[in-house]
Amino acid sequence: MTQLNPTDDPAYRLFQQRFGAMRRARSTETALTVAVVVLVFVVSAVWTEFSPTKILEGMPRIGEYFGKLLSIEPTRGADPVPVLAFGHIFGGTKEPQSIAYWFYRFDVYARLLWQTVQMAILATAMGFAAAAVLCFPATGTLLRLRPVVFVLRRLLEILRTIPQVVLAFIFVWPFGIGPLAGILAIAIHTTGALGKLFSELNENADLRAVEGIQSVGGSWLAQMRYGVLPQVLPGFLSYGLLRFEINVRSSTIMGFVGAGGIGMELKRTIGFNIYEEVSAICILILLVVVVLDLASERIRHRFIGHFV
């Protein structure tokens, strides 16, 4: 192959002549963007006192905390021992270092965990229903009334941008301490989050089916019900289950502001430094979340398999 000197090549010169200025402008743009991102990162790091040395110094203490979580003082003031020990694992509730001793309040945890899951189920169902109604008039390709689309879009945005914990905290005041406040908070956030996703699915729906229903004299409602819904429903259900997984995790922290579920118990045990109970609750939460995630993933794949 002959050596090619690109700068002498007529094609290269023609290219430079035509597009050189554009390429230079783009390079400058890229450099500027990188500079801005770096600047933002540095400023944020300084303001939040984020420093690598602090992380390195604190590392060993992470292990220390886990040590505390997984150890108990058999009697008040005694030296801590591991929360479980081989000789004692299957001992009764009175025998330290046994599973029964560690989880001696299992009945309370189980009831609260069940409440947590129910909160997630109710909130997801309510949010799903509201989103499924609001998403159609919030889709620009399906409704010509621009102001309605605009207002609903902004409403859904607002619903999903208010942090759930803040909402829960607000609702605890009028509705009292308990799951109701938490359910409402999660349901409202779910409406906003699912509403946006649903209306994106609607935007991708094939409009020929809609035109078909319009041509037979079907009302707008009929066009949505028969032209759009059958196309988007599998997607709705899949996103709904995904949201349920997220909501189970969210409802575990609702208790921190008094809005029901296992979070209230977790907050109490953290407050009183009852480390072994904190670890017992965390393990149970982890178990429930993992099991529900796996189950819902299975179901979602079946939906997608069946309908697509």
DSSP state letters, the chain:
-----GGG-HHHHHHHHHHHHHHHHHHHHHHHHHHHHHHHHHHHHHHTT--HHHHHHHHHHHHHHHHHHTEE-SSTTSPPEES--GGGTT--TTSTTSHHHHTTTHHHHHHHHHHHHHHHHHHHHHHHHHHHHHTTTT-TTT---HHHHHHHHHHHHHHHHS-HHHHHHHHHHHH-SSHHHHHHHHHHHHHHHHHHHHHHHHHTS-HHHHHHHHHTT--HHHIIIIIIHHHHHHHHHHHHHHHHHHHHHHHHHGGGGT-SSHHHHHHHHHHTT-HHHHHHHHHHHHHHHHHHHHHHHHHHHHHHHHH-
Q: Residue 230, interface with another protein (CB under 8 A)? A: yes
Q: Identify which of residues 137 and 218 has a Cβ nearer to another protein in the complex.
A: 218
**Cβ of residue 218: shortest distance to another protein, in angstroms?**
4
| Contact between 225 and 287 (Cβ < 8 Å) | no
Chain mean position to CA 175:
25
- For another protein, which residue of 195, 227, 235, 258 counts as binding (CB under 8 A)? 227
Judged by CB under 8 A, does residue 141 bind another protein?
no
Nearer to another protein, 125 or 209 (CB): 209
Closest to another protein by CB, 71 vs 214, is 214
The one among 70, 203, 231, 237 contacting another protein by CB under 8 A: 231
Is there binding between residue 144 and another protein (CB under 8 A)?
Answer: no
Between 55 and 308, CB nearer to another protein: 308
Q: Which is nearer to another protein, 73 or 206 (CB)?
A: 206
In the complex, the smallest distance separating the C-beta of residue 297 from another protein, rounded to whole angstroms, is: 23
According to the binding rule CB under 8 A, does residue 226 interact with another protein?
yes
129 makes contact with another protein (CB under 8 A)? no
- The answer to whether residue 221 forms part of the interface with another protein (CB under 8 A) is yes
Nearer CB in complex with another protein: 1/221: 221
Instruction: Choose between 18 and 208: whose C-beta lies nearer to another protein.
Output: 208
Binding of another protein by 307 (CB under 8 A) = yes
Site membership for another protein, residue 303 (CB under 8 A): no
The nearest distance, CB 142 to another protein, in angstroms, is 15
Of 9 and 211, which CB lies nearer to another protein in the complex structure? Answer: 211
CB of 198 vs another protein, minimal distance in Å: 16
HSE-CB of 294 using CA atoms within 13 angstroms: 5
**Long-range pairs of 81-88 with CB within 8 A, sequence gap ≥ 24:** 83/276, 83/279
Could you say whether residue 217 binds another protein (CB under 8 A)?
Answer: yes
Minimum gap (Å) between residue 304 Cβ and another protein: 14
Query: Measuring CA to CA, which residue among 277, 284, 16 is closest to residue 267?
Result: 277
Residue 219 found at the interface with another protein (CB under 8 A): yes
Annotate each residue in 197-216 with x if it binds another protein (CB under 8 A) or - if it does not, as one string: ---------x-xx-xxxxxx
Q: Which residues bind another protein (CB under 8 A)?
A: 206, 208-209, 211-219, 221-222, 225-227, 230-231, 307
